[in-house]
Structure 1
Amino acid sequence: MENLTAAWNFPTAIQVGEHRAKAIATECVRLGMSAPLFVTDPGLAALPMVDELLRLCRQGGLNVALFSDIKSNPTGENVALGVQSFKQGRHDSVIAFGGGSALDAGKAIAFMADQVQPLWAFEDIADNWTKADSDAIKPVIAIPTTAGTGSEVGRSSVITDAQHKVKKIIFHPGMTPKLVLLDPVVCVGLPPALTAATGMDALSHNLEAYCAPFYHPLAEGVAVEGMRLIKEHLLRAYHHGDDLPARTQMLVASAMGATAFQRGLGGMHAIAHSLGALFDAHHGLLNAILMPYVLQANCAVIDERITRLNRYLDLPQSGFDGFLSWVLEMRTALNIPHTLADIGIDGSQAELVAAMSVKDPCAAGNPVGLTQAQYRQLFLAAVDGTL
């Protein structure tokens, strides 16, 4: 009999619309934030829109400073430097601005600013999160510039333990930002390749959440509609970066994916986390490449579920095969490589990748309980392009 026992949470306050980001100073004051640390990545830090937001903060009377020493896959060292900057500047909050790396780092900095135990003590294992001082977590306003990770509505951060070359999920319910500003204007300059990779990341979140073997009808419904929005708007945003309605809908679909994946993620993310730690590759691109291979590996269990999804999305071909064909066609249209070999990842570390993937927390949410040997086979299939 299906287990119908569950505990559900849905995320934070979200404001959607063009130029929402320009209200940043007003929103900080409303939330009692007087000295925010503005956390972003090095590439964004050099852009005029960051200067404008910092200027608006200062005009609003905020004691704001910039921190941007963050890698594309943020490390524990990045977080430690951010905490040091937070304390030196006597900050009381964080504005996290950027893609998943900046949002994850910003949330982790706000979380760790006044904790006594080290970062890795709060890895998402068992009840580690209860070790944290909840009252010490600083408030965060999140402004995503990509429509991919959905970290702006998440209760965790994915941080790389550089010493052990492994990605770890740091979790606490209090890490959820107090406010999210979804502003399509800040996404306009995102290059097509990043629009594609992050958009497919949003699809992977919604898709794996939809397929996860846990009881959460709310998340399942959110995931289905999130995928419909991606089907309708990702290619528009890719081909026309200044299409603000398409950018808006992709931001919403991204937040929906991260809302839904509290139901669970699966093999795509288990392998992508492993490869990201080992090769420092882009997380969204890895999920995009891995998607059809993981779908095929789960086919026997998710066939009926994917057939229902196919009908909702109104795809031209029916059933599981029709959905898989749509995924492959979408990847081709977005110029996503077909294999991991196409981005320089070979099979030489297959044993290590398999060992890491089977231990990754996301593996527990895969529809099929894959063994280490099966993860090895799945990884090699994605290297060679064998579907």
Structure 2
Amino acid sequence: MDLHASWNFPTAITVGEGCLDQLGERCKVLNMTKVLLITDPGLSGLSMVKEAIAYCIEAGLEADVFADIQGNPTGNNVRDGALFLNAGGFDGVVAFGGGSSLDAAKAIAMIAKQAISLWTAEDIGSNWTLVDESLMLPVVAVPTTAGTGSEVGRASVITDTDGPHHIKRIIFHPNMLPAHVLLDPILTLSLPPHITAATGLDALSHNLEAYCAPFYHPMAEGIAIEGIRLVKDFLPRAVTNGEDIEARTQMLVASTMGATSFQRGLGGMHAIAHSLGALYNKHHGLLNAILMPYVLMRNRSVIEERITRLSRYLELDDASFDGFLSWVLTLREQLNIPHTLAEIGINLDDAVLIGKMSAKDAASAGNPIILTDAEYSLLFSDAVKGQLK
């Protein structure tokens, strides 16, 4: 099968080996003349970033790099990026890297020219209407991991470090959706197995929580089901052989499908993962991967029939809830994902605080069962202790 394509859902997407060479032209189509490529320190010195800048210059554009973005991007990262963008007179953004870089870049492109603060655009009520959309800069997104799907998202998750407790806030505007996405599997070939696994299971968590969310969105539900199948078929291959172009391509697509489908909602995995990421600065995909079976078990009474239908589509030998849970546990073990949060250095000291933060997190609204502070604390405790009950 030829894995090169151009799609227009939910935005313009070009997928295929080597498609990065279209970057300069895609920026020109959006009337960019001076491009700021936003990425993280780990990528900034690599050849792929230099290549991306070269494609922009070849297209007649001026281009520079801003790379002061940490693993869980903060409000300070966004503010620093906005200052850099304005000082340099840039009129367009290339979001380049993993989910953290993409989220930060989208937020910078949205807020840099605004008179309001970043937190004013938090996804609460109609806050997004306070943003002057005419001042937002166009974005071309180039993901280098297959996990968050931020390249097709209308929001960014940014950590607010200004208060006594770090909190992840969701910044939203419909026009934060990048105008064009380039899915080039070559950019993911150098990802080590443990990052491939964690980001891939993040893509699974997006598709799975979207599928289980209680809201009406049949289109998103259908996308989620196929996204889960792609993870099942291709994530083990991508981890085992990082040079497998087909597996890398399909995982990039599964990632975009996850972020497209979670328009339907997320859930408890993300509510707790957002809280833990803010407090402990742990890898978001790894947190979701560890939390997955515990959240599935907590929601079993509501989602069992739905998961059974999914199991039949995936052609599992045991097409039941137990069969699906067994597949998840086996996949995690195969990919060397820890079974407990304790194994990555998280203990029960902040259980009460995490319960409160998780219950307030926007993702909690999509959990099949609405959980209280105390119930989130218990669920977190189960994941620390490894009590799958």
| 1:380 positional shift | 0.2
| 1:163 positional shift | 2.0
Question: Which amino acid in the other structure matches residue 197 of structure 1?
Answer: A
Q: Secondary structure at the match of 1:64?
A: strand
What corresponds to 1:3 in structure 2?
Answer: none
Pairs aligned (count) = 379
- Alignment deviations for residues 42-91 of structure 1 (CA, whole Å, 9 cap, x no partner): 00001111111112211221111100000100000000010011001100
What corresponds to 2:85 in structure 1?
Answer: 86
Question: Which amino acid in the other structure matches residue 153 of structure 1?
Answer: V
What corresponds to 1:96 in structure 2?
Answer: 95
What corresponds to 1:6 in structure 2?
Answer: none
Work out whether 1:233 is the aligned partner of 2:249.
Answer: no
- Alignment deviations for residues 294-332 of structure 1 (CA, whole Å, 9 cap, x no partner): 000000000000000000000122210000000000000
What corresponds to 1:197 in structure 2?
Answer: 198
What corresponds to 2:60 in structure 1?
Answer: 61
Work out whether 1:149 is the aligned partner of 2:148.
Answer: yes
Question: Which amino acid in the other structure matches residue 237 of structure 1?
Answer: A
- Alignment deviations for residues 202-261 of structure 1 (CA, whole Å, 9 cap, x no partner): 000000000000000000000000000000000000010010110000000000000000
Question: Which amino acid in the other structure matches residue 46 of structure 1?
Answer: G
Q: Secondary structure at the match of 2:291?
A: helix
Between the aligned partners of 1:220 and 1:27, the Cα distance in structure 2 is 31
Gap regions ≥5 residues in structure 1: 1-8
Q: Percent identity?
A: 61
Work out whether 1:330 is the aligned partner of 2:331.
Answer: yes
Q: Secondary structure at the match of 1:160?
A: strand
| Root-mean-square deviation over aligned CA pairs | 0.9
What corresponds to 1:17 in structure 2?
Answer: 16
What corresponds to 1:167 in structure 2?
Answer: 168
What corresponds to 2:275 in structure 1?
Answer: 274
- Alignment deviations for residues 76-125 of structure 1 (CA, whole Å, 9 cap, x no partner): 00000100110011000100110000100110010011111100011111
Between the aligned partners of 1:328 and 1:369, the Cα distance in structure 2 is 25
Between the aligned partners of 2:362 and 2:238, the Cα distance in structure 1 is 32
Q: After the TM superposition, which residues 1-387 of structure 1 pair with which residues of structure 2 at under 5 Å, given as runs?
A: 11-164=10-163, 165-387=166-388
Between the aligned partners of 1:31 and 1:354, the Cα distance in structure 2 is 44
Question: Which amino acid in the other structure matches residue 135 of structure 2?
Answer: A
Q: Secondary structure at the match of 2:65?
A: strand
Give the structure-1-normalised TM-score.
0.97
Q: Secondary structure at the match of 1:15?
A: strand
Question: Which amino acid in the other structure matches residue 143 of structure 2?
Answer: P
What corresponds to 2:3 in structure 1?
Answer: none
Between the aligned partners of 1:382 and 1:253, the Cα distance in structure 2 is 26
| 1:344 positional shift | 0.1
| 1:10 positional shift | 5.6
Question: Which amino acid in the other structure matches residue 34 of structure 1?
Answer: T
Between the aligned partners of 1:183 and 1:63, the Cα distance in structure 2 is 23
Between the aligned partners of 1:247 and 1:10, the Cα distance in structure 2 is 20
More displaced 10-residue stretch of structure 1: 56-65 or 153-162 = 56-65
Between the aligned partners of 1:199 and 1:170, the Cα distance in structure 2 is 24
Question: Which amino acid in the other structure matches residue 114 of structure 1?
Answer: K
- Alignment deviations for residues 242-297 of structure 1 (CA, whole Å, 9 cap, x no partner): 10110000000000000000100000000000000000000000000000000000
Between the aligned partners of 1:325 and 1:58, the Cα distance in structure 2 is 51
Between the aligned partners of 1:261 and 1:160, the Cα distance in structure 2 is 20
Question: Which amino acid in the other structure matches residue 11 of structure 2?
Answer: T
